[in-house]
Every structure is written in structure tokens, then in C-alpha cells.
A and B are shown apart, each in its own frame.
Chain A
Amino acid sequence: MDALTRAFDPARSANGPLIPFPPRVLVPFAVVGLGGLVAGHLGWISLAVVKVLGVVGFHGGLLAASFAAAWEGTRGWKPHAALVALSLLTAATACAVTPWGCLAYLLPPLAVALVTLRHPECRRMGLALWADWRALARGVAIGGFLGAHLLLSASRTFGYPVRLNPPGSYLTDVLYDVGANVLSSECFFRGTLFNRWQRRWSFWPAAVAVTGLSVLRYLADPALPRAVETMAGAIFYLALLSLSGCALLRSSGSLLPSLAAALVFFSAYRMLHVR
């Protein structure tokens, strides 16, 4: 038992840093993202380029911070963060250039899977190539239930139509979730922040804090419609999704069930045509 055998140094602090990665990691990504926004606002670059820079700056920054935290201050995370950022850049550019370019959004998950395969450090954010099928099934069931509930409530209450048309647009949205939106959110909020904070505090404080941050992140997303009922619904469902993700990570020790829940939920959400 570790309490009896492992060396213990009472002079050291009981907790690591609250933010488990150096904030300077985010600087280049913030420069890219914000620079793109400013340049777009000033009319120097087109909206498509702004979107590309926004995807790379925002999602690349979250994934880079996750890698930096997983490597715990040691060197070696930067090439992987660069690889993932490059794959995001490629995917966003391809998506902007050609209609089927959205398929390139499969590159970031592949890059992350490659890094996970070769570096056990990724387990610190719950990344593994496989998880218990029961946990995965629970994730799919929770995401499916929340997604179905969203569709049912929104269509019955507000009369929003549910449809897959046009299929190309739906596929683009879903692949964006697969390659950027869900991947970066789950790695950063659940895999990095919640996994550390649940060790520092306990489940509920960590889950509530992470849920608050992740809901804020979606509310700040310029793609979210600004209608009151839409924002209220987003807060409700995203909070439930986030809490479920935390519980899934805690019970399974893997990020995959949480990723599955979020992907299924967003796949359902993308069917909703919010006016």
C-alpha cells in the first residue's frame, strides 16, 4: 500500500497548479485566431480565411493546451500539437475550398489517435484507442437520449423542423464536430481540466466548474443563434451533456464514452434547423 511504502514529502504542496498547462501555450493560437478575426473585420481577408484561422486558433489552442498538460511540463508535446494544428489547418482549408473537403476533418482525430498510440502520456487525459463497450454504449445512449430529447422538445415546443437536408451541409457540420468541435472540447474540458480538478477537489465541484466553462465556451461561439430560447436550450442540454461526460469519464476512466455521447448529441443537434 502506497501509504506505508512510498516516500512522502510533507514539505511539498499537496496540489499541482490549478491550470495544468503554461498559459503561454495559448499565445500563438490566440494570435492566429484573434489576428484572423481582426483582419477579417478590417476586410483584409475573406470570411472563409477568417473561419480557417478561427478553427486553427481556437480548437488547435485547446488541443495544444491539452497536450502540454498531459506531458506535465516535460518537453515533447510541441511536435504533436503542431501536427494536430496542421491537420486542423488542412481540414479547415479543404472544407473552405471544396465541398467534399470536409472529409479532411477526419485528419485531426487520426492525428490524435496516432499520438495516443505512440505516447502513453495521452492516458493522462483519458485518451486510449479503445474502451469498455458497456461504457461506450452508455455514452451513446446518453448522447442519443439527450439528442432525441432536444429534437423532440424543440420541434414540439418551437416548431423547429428536423431534417437532413441538404445532406452535404449536414455531413460538413457532423465532420466538423468529429474533427474539431467535440474533439477539442472533450480533450480540454473533460480530459484535461475535469480529470485534474476532480483529483484536486471532488466530483461535483470539478464537474460544475468544468460544465460552467464549457457552456461559456459554446455561448461564446459565434455560430450559436442568439435567440433567447435557443441559448436557454443550449445551456440546459450542454450542461447535462457536460455533467454526463464528467460522470462517464469518472466511471470508465476513458474519454471515449464521453466523446461518443457528445458526437451522438451533436449529430442529433445538427438535424435541427434553428430559425
Chain B
Amino acid sequence: MSGWAGILFCFGAITAGLAWVDAGPASGLRHLYVLPTLWAALRFGGLGGGGGGLLAALLYAPFVLPAIERGGLTAESVEGLISLGLFPFVGSVMGSLARRARHQAARYHLLLALHRTLTGGGAPVHLLGEAAGQLKVALEARAVAIALMPYGSEPLVVTRGEREQERGAVEADSAAAWVLREGQSLFVRDVESDPRFGPTPFNAAPPRRLLLVPLSAREGRIGVLAVERRGGFGRELRATVETLGLQLALGIENARLVDRQRRFAEELEEKIGAATERLRELDRTKSDFVSIVSHELRTPLTSIQGFSELLLTRPLSVEDARRCLEAIHREAERLGRIVTDLLDLSRIESGRESALRPRPLALGPLIDANVDLFRAQSDLYMIECDIPDGLPPVLADHDALDRVLKNLLSNAIKYSPGGGPVRIRAGAAAEGAGWVELSVEDQGIGIPAEALPRVFDKYSRLLHPETGHVGGLGLGLALVKSLVEAQGGRVRVESEVGVGSRFIVSLPTARSPGKTQSA
């Protein structure tokens, strides 16, 4: 048996016992009323204890008052009268003390729980949700909301109400927004009948008290804590909520600091990982570079050494000696080109390229000159030109564009082992006026899709059985890209394996405004 039923039973039993023994106003048995009174006080607090004491007084009064009426105020009847007053007094005082002690303990538990929750790690929305839930239970609140000012991306609002979880925004003209602006607490005695909230149909249900406390930390006001209770919301409880607001603000600030620190550590780790990967890439590139360069340099050097030894050690006819010297000259030129490419690329990439002088340049003569040059070198390839009349001049450096064209044409020929046609086209760019597109198209082996993103990287070479004999450092396309971009242009590639490739260079026209900057 517990609660009111047990307490009422005890009161009834004691009263029946007193009636059974026909107790007088100062009967010793009257002290038994203290037991259920204390039970009520410990179980229900001051109001319960006071109510229990009052009930005891009411039940005992019929044993005291008739005695006073019959015999006047005797010592016994005065003792009985004092008992009538003592029962409610003892009950209410004991109940109040018990309730206060319980509240104090609950408050400390809540503070500890909040501290544990807010330092437990996890997403802020979950931490705040848990904290709001704990506050709702501990304060016996109808609803608890924690609304935080924008931090990071967006404002955060967590509500634990009659529904399990509500999320929403803080309206600009709401009470919470006012508390955030003014930085002072707001106590509303009844949300339903308070004229500041406008007309609301209320009934006779207990008032809905509302307390809004600003959450302030070192960085200023960070949010607001709103607690809504049905019925009482005494001064002591309000002070508790204010204290909890302070603790909550500190906890939120600490949680944010921890969160910020964690994100910083993650970013740092990410950056270190990226830097390490970049270093590994550079190391690999350096190894590739050394390997390729040593291979590409050794080949002409070996030829030069071989032919020069031949010239030195054997008596050769004039004709043979000339062939040897021609071979030495050809290989020396090849060495020179390799060194020039390396130096050009290094200069452009380091930003030290100042030799580029973009100026209005007609594409037709430059393309024709290059086509003639490559036609003269090999009859195997058919090079077709499609240059429309009236093509506007581009803004480019003559020598740089010449090297671009040579590299693209050389590339197209090298990777077309079957000797298919190579087409050069020029025309207005699809991306709009002010741009001219120059494309070099072959019907060679093509480039696999997975290799396309790396096609303009340095030392990137396409390995293919049919083009294994093709030499080179893999610098040509990297150089093309660097030169084109240094002149304010763009380059891209379209390719399909077995069908061919198309390299497209977009350059600003000489008339387009704002495109006259040099590299």
C-alpha cells in the first residue's frame, strides 16, 4: 500500500482506534497521527504534509472540542488544542524540508548529468537534445527548448515538448528572440492569458508558466533556454533554472571548443595527409623524371659517342664520315630540343616566363608554315587544313603558338602509326564571341578515358604496343598546356580509343576586351 490510499487508511485506523477507546482530548494515542502525517510529508512535500496534518487535526477535533464545550479550557483540552495546531505545522514544515532536500539533490544530479552529457562528445544537436530531455524530466516541465544563435552554418533549435521531439526556428518577433536581443530573463505567468502574446482562448486548466533565460558565455549571448511548466513555477525553481542556464551556456561553449578543436585536428590531419601524398607524388615524379631523362639523354648521347668513336678510330670515306657527322648533328639537335623543353617548362611553371609577348596574330600563315614543314618531313601523312576566311586575329605570342602547333602536330603524327590523316581546323569558339578555337585532330590510337585526366601532366606518356618506339620525355602536351594558359587560353582533349584524338586550343581574339594580358 502506498500513496494517499495507505496514508488515508492509517488516518482512518488511528481515528477508529481513538473512537474505540473513547479517547479524551489529551490521549497519548493522538501522537499516532504524526506517523501518517510524516508519511504524507515525505511522500508529497509541504502541501501533502500540511494536508495530512490538517486531516489529522480535523479527525482529532471531535475528541477535543466537545470536551472544551463540556468542561471549558482545562489542561487536557489545551493540550488537545495544541495538538490540533501542531499536526498541520509539523506536516508542512517536514514536507517542505523533505521537498527542498529532494530538489537540492535532484539539482546536483541534473548538473552532473548535464555536465556529463555536454562533455560526452557527439553531434551538438544530439547533445542538446539529450540535455533538453534531462531538463524536461528533472524540472517536470511541459516543454523545454534550447535555441542557439547561428554557429557554423545555421541556428540550432532543440525542443523537448509534449511530442517527443520538435524542431523549428525562432521567429523574429517571438519571446525567445526578445530575450536574445535584450539579454535578460523573462518570466511569463501564463502564456494563455498573457496579453503580450495576443488573444488566446484559455480554459480553467492550470496556468502555463514560461521562463526564458538567456544563455551567455565569454563570446556573448549564444542562445536562450525556455522552460514551460503547468501549474507552479516558484521563485526557487526559477533561480534553479537561471543557474542551470549558466551551466548550460558554459557546457555548450566547452562543447563547441572541443568540437572546434576536433575539426581543426581533422583538417590538420587531412592537410598533412594531402601534403604527404603530394610529396610521394613528387618523389615518384622525380624518379620518373630521372629515369626518363636518363633514358632520353642516353640514347642520343650513345649515338653521338658511337659515331664520334667511329670517326676517331677508323679511317672512313668522306661520304661515310659525312653520314656519321649528320647523325651526330641530328642527335645533338634532339638533345638540344629536350633540354630546351625542360628549361621552357621550368621557366613557365616557376612564373619566370617573361618572354611571351601576346599581340594580334593571324592564325592562317602560322598554320600554313607548320603544315608545309611537316609535309616536307614525311609524305606518309596527309595533313588537311580548314581555315575559314575572315578569321579574326588572336592575341598570342608568335613563337609560343608556333611551339604549341608543332607539338600538337608532332604528337598527332607520332600517335597515328597507321598514317591516317591529320586535320587542323580553326574557327569561332563555341563558348562565345571573343574566342577562336584551333583544333588538331588525328585518327590514331586514341587515348583511354582513364588516361585523359593525366594527358597534360608532365612525363605522362601513353603506352601502346604500336607506339612503343616513339621517344620523348612526355613533356610536349604539358608544355602545350602551360604555353596556352600563359597566353590566357585554354586547351582540352576529346578522344576515343581506336578512333582518334582531337586537341582543341581556345585563344582570345585580338578584339576581345580584357584579354590582352600577357602570361
- B12-51 CB contacts (< 8 Å) to partner A: none
Whether B159 pairs with A4 at a CB distance below 8 angstroms is yes
CB-CB < 8 A to A8: which residues of B?
173-175, 177-178, 196-197
Whether A123 pairs with B234 at a CB distance below 8 angstroms is no
Cβ-closest chain B residue relative to A255: B204
**A/B interface sample: 27 pairs, CB < 8 A:** A1-B226, A2-B197, A3-B145, A3-B228, A4-B157, A4-B168, A5-B171, A6-B197, A7-B174, A7-B198, A9-B198, A14-B188, A14-B195, A15-B189, A16-B195, A72-B199, A123-B203, A123-B204, A153-B65, A156-B65, A157-B65, A157-B68, A199-B193, A199-B207, A203-B231, A249-B204, A250-B206
Task: Decide if B9 is an interface residue (CB 8 Å cutoff).
Answer: no
**Distance, CA A270 to CA B284, complexed state (A):** 108
**Distance, CA A125 to CA B204, complexed state (A):** 6
Whether A4 pairs with B189 at a CB distance below 8 angstroms is no
**Distance, CA A16 to CA B157, complexed state (A):** 31
Q: Which 3 interchain pairs have the tightest Cβ spacing?
A: A126-B204, A199-B190, A253-B205
Task: Decide: A6 near B175, CB < 8 A? Known: A1-B145, A125-B204.
Answer: yes
CB-CB < 8 A to B69: which residues of A?
157-158
Q: How far is the CB of A244 from chain B (nearest CB, A)?
A: 10
Task: Decide if B191 is an interface residue (CB 8 Å cutoff).
Answer: yes
Whether B231 pairs with A3 at a CB distance below 8 angstroms is no
Contacts A10-B196, A157-B65 known; 12 new A-B pairs at CB < 8 A:
A1-B166, A2-B191, A2-B208, A3-B145, A3-B226, A4-B169, A6-B197, A8-B174, A149-B62, A198-B207, A240-B54, A253-B203
CB-CB < 8 A to A16: which residues of B?
193, 195
Whether B143 pairs with A1 at a CB distance below 8 angstroms is yes
**Distance, CA A195 to CA B190, complexed state (A):** 11
**Distance, CA A203 to CA B226, complexed state (A):** 22
CB-CB < 8 A to A157: which residues of B?
62, 65-66, 68-69
Whether A4 pairs with B171 at a CB distance below 8 angstroms is yes
Task: Decide: A3 near B174, CB < 8 A? Known: A14-B194, A199-B189, A203-B231.
Answer: yes
**Distance, CA A202 to CA B187, complexed state (A):** 13
Task: Decide if A196 is an interface residue (CB 8 Å cutoff).
Answer: yes
Whether B161 pairs with A1 at a CB distance below 8 angstroms is yes
Whether A156 pairs with B62 at a CB distance below 8 angstroms is yes
Whether A4 pairs with B226 at a CB distance below 8 angstroms is yes
Whether B195 pairs with A10 at a CB distance below 8 angstroms is no
**Distance, CA A120 to CA B188, complexed state (A):** 25
Task: Decide if A254 is an interface residue (CB 8 Å cutoff).
Answer: yes
**Distance, CA A195 to CA B228, complexed state (A):** 19
- A177-215 CB contacts (< 8 Å) to partner B: 191, 195-196, 198-203
Whether A120 pairs with B66 at a CB distance below 8 angstroms is no
CB-CB < 8 A to B169: which residues of A?
4
Q: Could you give, for residues 1-30 of chain A, a 1 whenever the CB lies within 8 Å of some chain B CB and a 0 otherwise? A: 111111111101111100000000000000
Interface range on chain A (Cβ under 8 Å from partner) = 35 or more
Q: How far is the CB of B95 from chain A (nearest CB, A)?
A: 14
Q: How far is the CB of A56 from chain B (nearest CB, A)?
A: 27
CB-CB < 8 A to B161: which residues of A?
1
CB-CB < 8 A to A13: which residues of B?
195-196
Task: Decide if B58 is an interface residue (CB 8 Å cutoff).
Answer: yes
Whether B189 pairs with A200 at a CB distance below 8 angstroms is yes
- A248-272 CB contacts (< 8 Å) to partner B: 249-251, 253-255
Task: Decide if A80 is an interface residue (CB 8 Å cutoff).
Answer: no
Whether A202 pairs with B202 at a CB distance below 8 angstroms is no
**Number of B residues whose C-beta is below 8 Å from A?**
52
Whether A153 pairs with B62 at a CB distance below 8 angstroms is yes
Task: Decide: A195 near B178, CB < 8 A? Known: A6-B198, A12-B196.
Answer: no
Task: Decide if B371 is an interface residue (CB 8 Å cutoff).
Answer: no
CB-CB < 8 A to A15: which residues of B?
189, 194-195
Cβ-closest chain A residue relative to B196: A12
Q: How far is the CB of B211 from chain A (nearest CB, A)?
A: 9
Cβ-closest chain A residue relative to B58: A149
Q: How far is the CB of B98 from chain A (nearest CB, A)?
A: 19
**Distance, CA A149 to CA B69, complexed state (A):** 17
Whether B204 pairs with A191 at a CB distance below 8 angstroms is yes
Q: How far is the CB of B78 from chain A (nearest CB, A)?
A: 16
Whether B175 pairs with A3 at a CB distance below 8 angstroms is yes
Whether A152 pairs with B62 at a CB distance below 8 angstroms is yes
Task: Decide: A14 near B196, CB < 8 A? Known: A152-B62, A254-B204.
Answer: yes
CB-CB < 8 A to B426: which residues of A?
none
Q: How far is the CB of B49 from chain A (nearest CB, A)?
A: 15
Whether B171 pairs with A7 at a CB distance below 8 angstroms is yes
**Distance, CA A201 to CA B232, complexed state (A):** 10
Task: Decide: A4 near B147, CB < 8 A? Known: A156-B65, A202-B234.
Answer: yes
Whether A3 pairs with B61 at a CB distance below 8 angstroms is no
Task: Decide if A124 is an interface residue (CB 8 Å cutoff).
Answer: yes
Q: Could you give, for residues 134-157 of chain B, a 1 whenever the CB lies within 8 Å of some chain A CB and a 0 otherwise? A: 000000000101010000000001
CB-CB < 8 A to A156: which residues of B?
62, 65-66
Whether A4 pairs with B174 at a CB distance below 8 angstroms is yes
Task: Decide if B120 is an interface residue (CB 8 Å cutoff).
Answer: no
Q: How far is the CB of A269 from chain B (nearest CB, A)?
A: 16
**Distance, CA A47 to CA B202, complexed state (A):** 43
Whether A3 pairs with B210 at a CB distance below 8 angstroms is yes
Whether A124 pairs with B174 at a CB distance below 8 angstroms is no
Whether A1 pairs with B178 at a CB distance below 8 angstroms is no
**Distance, CA A158 to CA B70, complexed state (A):** 9
**Distance, CA A71 to CA B92, complexed state (A):** 39
Among the listed A149, A152, A253, which residue makes an inter-chain contact with B206, where contact means beta carbons less than 8 Å apart?
A253
Cβ-closest chain B residue relative to A121: B201
CB-CB < 8 A to B195: which residues of A?
12-16
CB-CB < 8 A to A149: which residues of B?
58, 61-62
CB-CB < 8 A to B194: which residues of A?
14-15
CB-CB < 8 A to A9: which residues of B?
196, 198
Task: Decide if B478 is an interface residue (CB 8 Å cutoff).
Answer: no
CB-CB < 8 A to A199: which residues of B?
189-190, 192-193, 202, 207
Q: How far is the CB of B185 from chain A (nearest CB, A)?
A: 12
Task: Decide if B170 is an interface residue (CB 8 Å cutoff).
Answer: yes
Task: Decide if B212 is an interface residue (CB 8 Å cutoff).
Answer: yes
Task: Decide if B176 is an interface residue (CB 8 Å cutoff).
Answer: yes
CB-CB < 8 A to A202: which residues of B?
189, 232, 234
Cβ-closest chain A residue relative to B54: A240
- A78-126 CB contacts (< 8 Å) to partner B: 120, 123-126
Q: How far is the CB of A70 from chain B (nearest CB, A)?
A: 10
